[in-house]
Homo-oligomer: A and B are copies of this chain.
Amino acid sequence: MPVLAKIRALSNETRFEIIKLVRDRELEAGAVARRFKMTRPAVSQHLGVLREAGLLRERRAGSKRLYIARAEAFDELLEFIEGYWSPRLRRLKAAAEAIDRSKVKK
């Protein structure tokens, strides 16, 4: 599942809030829906988008469906940003050290 799909899924305010709700506890679909002003089917679709992007894990218990954030997804996001950013940090650090060396030579 590509990283961009995860970012896209998080880019909607409702979904962004849902993710906060299910960070460290399972919550049933209805309980999630009750937190928002919009209709329950609308929230259900948002849950579908988050699940499709791999950000949510769905578990069925009787007629209920329980949702919770998927650890792997957030690790992947973290690694992506670190991977994107750290090469630049290394480059800046190397540049700073090169400047230091030239100052010492003077």
A interface with B by C-beta (< 8 Å): 4, 7-8, 10-11, 13, 16, 19-20, 23-24, 69, 71, 74-75, 77-78, 81-82, 84-85, 87-88, 91
Q: Which of A19, A20, A84 has the most C-beta atoms of chain B within 10 angstroms of its own C-beta? A: A84
A38 to chain B, nearest CB (A): 17
Say whether B8 contacts A4, CB under 8 Å. Answer: no
* 20 contacting pairs across A/B (C-beta < 8 A): A7-B10, A7-B11, A7-B16, A8-B11, A10-B11, A23-B85, A23-B88, A24-B88, A24-B91, A69-B88, A71-B88, A74-B81, A74-B84, A74-B85, A77-B81, A78-B78, A78-B81, A78-B82, A78-B85, A81-B81
